[in-house]
Amino acid sequence: MSEEHEEGHHGGHHWKIIAFLAFAGILGLLVFTSFYDFPLTGKITQMNSNSSVVFYGELSIPNLEIAGNFEKVEIRGGSDSFFYVEGEKFQMNSKNSYIILSNYTGEIFFNGEKISKLNGKAAKVVMNGVPIEPKSKANMKVSFEKEFPYSFLNIQNKAMIKKLSYVSSGKIDIDNGKSLVNLENNELNIQNFEGNIKVEKNVVKMIGSVQKLEIDGKTKFSIMA
């Protein structure tokens, strides 16, 4: 075999290896992006096989209207109005009233300053450390006489928010630290949140799971379960 023939043979072999590696690289990139959906625009979209994504947020307080069944609701605030339990009026403390509702079913509407609506039924009611005895075995109807300025609100197990969209600041943790996002007046869109909500010191803490999250503005991020 001549030297020229050997050189051509080896050169062709090298080109085959290079072509194979290039094809494998492109195939690997396509497979990777099909799982994680990383577009080339800077926006990140992650796809998970689970039905929801673990979510923790410390955010500015939106206007929220929540209705459902909650294991426990705690409210602290001050008002000189009345708290109604089974039609009976209880005078609240203008500086500090603390109410606990166990197994509450009903509505809670609030923003960063006041609870505009509380209307539902609870299996157990405690006001300023004193249990309110039910008149029957049925759950007790509860409501506020008027809007209640509050400093603390805790809704446990579980609040459900089908859709929430507002301009927010704060921080978000996805999947226990896998993705950390800081917000500064970003447009925030959340779909199908389930979990606990705690409001105090002008911050809402949302602890639970979401099916979809989108952040727009200087920081761009999106995730879908």
Give pLDDT tens digits along the chain (225 positions): 444 444 444 455 566 666 556 555 554 544 443 333 333 233 444 444 458 999 999 999 999 999 999 999 999 999 999 999 999 999 999 889 999 999 999 999 999 999 999 999 999 999 999 999 988 888 999 999 999 999 999 999 999 999 999 999 999 999 999 999 999 999 999 999 999 999 999 999 999 999 999 999 988 899 987
Kindly report whether the peptide bond that precedes residue 158 is cis, defined as omega within 30 degrees of 0: yes
Give domain status of residue 46, yes or no: no
Instruction: State the pLDDT at residue 48.
Output: 45
Phi, psi dihedrals of residue 220, rounded to the nearest 5°: -120, 130
Distances (CA, A) of 78 to 116, 180, 205: 14, 36, 22
Strand partners, 195: 159, 208
Looking at the structure of the chain, the number of domains it has is: 2
Q: Tell me how far apart the alpha carbons of residues 34 and 219 are, in angstroms, rounded to a whole number.
A: 23
Position of tokens 């799971």? 209
Instruction: State the pLDDT at residue 20.
Output: 56
Q: Tell me how far apart the alpha carbons of residues 163 and 189 are, in angstroms, rounded to a whole number.
A: 7
Instruction: State the pLDDT at residue 3.
Output: 46
Instruction: State the pLDDT at residue 26.
Output: 54
Instruction: State the pLDDT at residue 146.
Output: 95
Give domain status of residue 154, yes or no: yes
Do 119 and 153 lie in one domain? The reply is yes
First to last CA, the chain: 61
Do 4 and 93 lie in one domain? The reply is no
Give domain status of residue 48, yes or no: no
Do 90 and 157 lie in one domain? The reply is yes
Do 60 and 22 lie in one domain? The reply is no
Instruction: State the pLDDT at residue 51.
Output: 80
Structure tokens that stand for 185 in this block:
């007046």
Instruction: State the pLDDT at residue 69.
Output: 97
Instruction: State the pLDDT at residue 58.
Output: 98
Do 16 and 57 lie in one domain? The reply is no
Do 32 and 98 lie in one domain? The reply is no
Q: Tell me how far apart the alpha carbons of residues 137 and 142 are, in angstroms, rounded to a whole number.
A: 15
Do 140 and 77 lie in one domain? The reply is yes
Domain holding 30, by residue range, is 1-36
Give domain status of residue 44, yes or no: no
